[in-house]
Amino acid sequence: MKVWRYGDNVNTDQLFPGKHTYTCSTSEEILPHLLEDLDPSFASSVKPGDVIVAGKNFGCGSSREQPALGLKAAGLAGIVAESFARIFYRAAINQGLVLVELPEAVAAWRESDEITIEPAAGVIHVGDRSFQVPPLPEMLLSIRDAGGLLPAVRARLEIERRTENHD
Amino acid sequence: MGLTFAQKVLARSAGLSSVEIGQIVTVHPRHLLTHDNTAAIIGKIGEELEQYGIADPDQPVIVLDHISPARDTASAEAHRRVREFIARFDLRHFFDIGEGICHQVMLERGLAPPGEIVVGSDSHTCTYGAVGAFATGIDRTEAAALLLTGETWLKVPPTIKVLLSGSLPAWVTAKDLVLKLIGLIGADGASYQAVEYHGDIDKLGIDERITISNMGVEMGAKIAVFPVDDLTLDFLKKTGCSRTESQLIWADSDATYERVVDFGLDEVEPVVALPGAVDDVVCAGRVSGTKVDQVLIGTCTNGRLSDLQAAADILKGRHIADTVRLLVLPSSRGVFEAAIADGTISDLSIAGAVILPPGCGPCLGAHMGVLAPGEVCLSTANRNFKGRMGTPEAQIYLGSPLTAATTALTGVITDPREVVEPAAMDRLRSGGER
């Protein structure tokens, strides 16, 4: 796995340029442009299991969800940051993408350290150090663990439909 | 113990007697705004829409504005899919190309009622805090879920109280105020938090409050809200937004705040945000003389009548520098027509401006007026991120309509106090919704 290290205030225009926002919606369309204006090498070399480590306010700016959708589709194991911008945070939960908001873990990372995230156990391993990840609220956890918001909503609507049919 | 605006609105909307900071509540927003991204949103849930329909057909508001009119076949097809969706589900709050930028349309059509929750798949949905709405941005997937369920979750945010005092000096606008405030608080300084404006707000017109709330997200805020006063009530009346109980919701005087920021209006000067970061703010004078290729006046931040009038007052009877292009982007058809009626548009056009149809295009590099590599733009928009206007090799400064107009006049970044005429300032101070 590779760790991609970025700084503070990485914004959505860097993660996915606005000029593509209304022509690229599916993961296949998004992937070639991921992080285009931040790190042109990212899209062609990101591998499943990779991790992004960043500073504060990751994902600030627009409400566009393509960064979260694309990073999930690329198989990213998660993003570890000092903090996330709120719409990006929601978008990531809604795609089932793992976020770890933990400044200690960011500070602990050294070049060549591997990172492993265990979302269910709430643990992140950075090199030979391990950190507890603050647990997500139950409602957000249920969305992430369903694989994202739409799978969760589909399941809910289906249950409601069946219940109505039984009444 | 007193409660904040956010606590009161979220408790009321969730049907609870009270809520704690950090609590997650389920709410049914009054409206859900989507724009050109409606095509992608409904594309996620085509089958479910057929099976379950729309949970609350009065909830969605759809405005085509981001690539307006269509740029190419792909955007034309996306617009067509949206129009077919509107017809299929017989939705009543639809505004086709040319009606304006979604946020201005929401306000002008009375679709952002004070004290009520409005969410939108656009980060600048926070704009409607100007008239007392609890308005915040969400992503496309959440908008899709809302179409199907009518509901979403919100975390009760802690609140920053910004206490405004004094009044803005001549030559200084609400844009300078909010840029300076963002510079002070930082691009993430209000992250996950609500911002309430208190103090001498009666000195700010509705247009100015809209500019300030619009930029709330640039300091990370979930909402950026003003109390409802007589000015707001006059504005709401004109927009057909009927008076409701929820309009009276405001923070208690003994509410608990995360932080109180005292902000003096008298000390604000014309400022610009330097390329790359909205919170990298300096006095306009510090970069005066910087050569500019393009000036953009308009957008959801500064495209209202008082903004265009301010620019026209400087440019009337003069001509922009021959080394610069000036684009003017009115924020709605209503603004555009008013600016035609009072001569503002002809003043700007005669001065050399290119008038664009109301919409978003150049602000996000999506359509018209994009920059070439190496070019410099001074824009009245809300973002100057690398790549924002089409190429990562261009530079974008943010400033007020006055700074933009004086910069267009000289071709280099210019503090408006260097060229503005007193008469123009007098008209600005008494104009707009003030």
Tell whether B175 is covered by a domain: yes
d(CA B229, CA B231): 5
End-to-end CA distance of chain A: 52
Q: Whole-model pTM above 0.90? A: yes
pLDDT for B249 equals 95
Query: Both B123 and B249 in a single domain?
Result: yes
Q: Which residue of B has its CA nearest to A92?
A: B139
pLDDT bucket at A163, cuts 50 / 70 / 90: confident
Per-residue pLDDT at A36 exceeds 50: yes
Which residues of chain A neighbour B139 with C-beta distances below 8 Å?
63-65, 68, 87, 90-91, 94
Q: Is B89 on the interface with A (CB under 8 A)?
A: no
d(CA A15, CA B291): 29
Give the orientation angle of helix A86-95 with respect to helix A149-166, to 10 degrees: 60
Query: Both B110 and B156 in a single domain?
Result: yes
Tell whether B22 is covered by a domain: yes
End residue of a domain, out of B207, B234, B264: B264
Virtual torsion, Cα B293, B295, B300, B303, nearest 10 deg: -160
Query: Both B221 and B295 in a single domain?
Result: no
Q: Which residue has the higher pLDDT, A47 or A166?
A: A47
Q: What is the pLDDT of residues A101-126, one digit of tens each?
A: 999 999 999 999 999 999 989 999 99
pLDDT bucket at B242, cuts 50 / 70 / 90: confident
d(CA A136, CA B141): 19
pLDDT for B245 equals 75
pLDDT bucket at A145, cuts 50 / 70 / 90: confident
Averaged pLDDT for residues B320-324? 97
Q: Comparing C-alpha atoms, which of B219, B212, B108, B173 is closest to residue B311?
A: B173
What token pair was written down for A99? 């976020």
Query: Both B202 and B338 in a single domain?
Result: no
DSSP 8-state assignment for residue B191:
T
Range of the domain at B417: 271-429
On average, the pLDDT of chain A sits at 94
Tell whether B399 is covered by a domain: yes
Which residues of chain A neighbour B187 with C-beta distances below 8 Å?
9, 57, 60
User: Cβ–Cβ of B191/A64 closer than 8 Å?
Assistant: no
- Asked if residues B137 and B119 have their Cβ atoms less than 8 Å apart, the reply is yes
Task: Look up residue B23 and give its amino acid.
Answer: Q
Run of H or E residues at B175: helix B174-185
Query: Both B259 and B376 in a single domain?
Result: no
Query: Both B283 and B245 in a single domain?
Result: no
Per-residue pLDDT at A15 exceeds 70: yes
Q: Is A97 on the interface with B (CB under 8 A)?
A: no
pLDDT for A167 equals 62
- Asked if residues B187 and B91 have their Cβ atoms less than 8 Å apart, the reply is no
- Asked if residues A3 and A78 have their Cβ atoms less than 8 Å apart, the reply is no
What count of residues does chain B have? 434
Tell whether B207 is covered by a domain: yes
Tell whether B323 is covered by a domain: yes
3-state SS assignment for residue B5: helix
pLDDT for B186 equals 97
Averaged pLDDT for residues A26-41? 94
Query: Both B19 and B65 in a single domain?
Result: yes
Query: Both B40 and B180 in a single domain?
Result: yes
Q: In chain A, pLDDT over 90 holds for what percent of residues?
A: 81
Per-residue pLDDT at B8 exceeds 80: yes
Per-residue pLDDT at B428 exceeds 60: no
Q: Is B277 on the interface with A (CB under 8 A)?
A: yes
CATH of A3-134, one of 3.40.50.2020, 3.20.19.10, 3.30.1360.120, 1.50.10.10: 3.20.19.10
Domain with B204 in it: what CATH number?
Answer: 3.30.499.10
| Residue of A25, A86, A91 lying closest to B40 (CB–CB) | A25
d(CA B430, CA B45): 49
pLDDT bucket at A23, cuts 50 / 70 / 90: confident
d(CA B65, CA B82): 12
- Asked if residues B302 and B330 have their Cβ atoms less than 8 Å apart, the reply is no
Averaged pLDDT for residues A129-134? 95
Tell whether B434 is covered by a domain: no
Q: Where are the domains of chain A?
A: 3-134, 136-167
Query: Both B306 and B160 in a single domain?
Result: no
Interface test with A, best of B122, B136, B141 (most A CBs within 10 A): B141
End residue of a domain, out of B247, B264, B281: B264
Residue A101 distance to chain B (closest CA, Å):
13
Tell whether B415 is covered by a domain: yes
What token pair was written down for B97? 């190309």
Per-residue pLDDT at B424 exceeds 70: no
d(CA B387, CA B367): 14
- Asked if residues B137 and B220 have their Cβ atoms less than 8 Å apart, the reply is no
Per-residue pLDDT at B434 exceeds 50: no
Reported as half-sphere exposure (CB side, CA atoms, 13 A), residue B1 has a value of 8
pLDDT for B247 equals 78
Q: Is A58 on the interface with B (CB under 8 A)?
A: no
What token pair was written down for B209? 């409050």
Per-residue pLDDT at B432 exceeds 50: no
- Give me the residue label for tokens 């919606």: A25
Q: Find residue B135's DSSP bridge partners.
A: B118
On average, the pLDDT of chain B sits at 95
Q: What is the pLDDT of residues B111-135, one digit of tens each?
A: 999 999 999 999 999 999 999 999 9
- How large is the ipTM? 0.92
Q: Is B365 on the interface with A (CB under 8 A)?
A: yes
Distance of CA B336 to the CA centre of its chain: 17
Query: Both B235 and B155 in a single domain?
Result: yes
Query: Both B99 and B237 in a single domain?
Result: yes
d(CA A98, CA A136): 11
Q: Which residue of B has its CA nearest to A95?
A: B141
Q: Is B69 on the interface with A (CB under 8 A)?
A: no
Query: Both B65 and B134 in a single domain?
Result: yes
Tell whether B357 is covered by a domain: yes
End residue of a domain, out of B264, B280, B315: B264
Q: Is A56 on the interface with B (CB under 8 A)?
A: yes
Q: In chain B, pLDDT over 90 holds for what percent of residues?
A: 93
Q: Which residue has the higher pLDDT, A166 or A79?
A: A79
End-to-end CA distance of chain B: 35
Task: Look up residue B6 and give its amino acid.
Answer: A
Q: What is the pLDDT of residues A65-89, one digit of tens each?
A: 999 999 999 999 999 999 999 999 9
For residue B306, what are the contacts with CB-CB under 8 A and spacing of at least 6? B205, B207, B208, B428, B431, B432, B433, B434
pLDDT for B421 equals 61
Which residues of chain B neighbour A36 with C-beta distances below 8 Å?
387
Q: Comparing C-alpha atoms, which of B381, B45, B358 is closest to residue A25?
A: B45
DSSP 8-state assignment for residue B161:
E
Per-residue pLDDT at B431 exceeds 90: no
d(CA B171, CA A145): 54
Q: Which residue has the higher pLDDT, A62 or B432?
A: A62
Per-residue pLDDT at B426 exceeds 80: no
pLDDT for B422 equals 56
- Asked if residues B230 and B259 have their Cβ atoms less than 8 Å apart, the reply is no
pLDDT for A25 equals 87
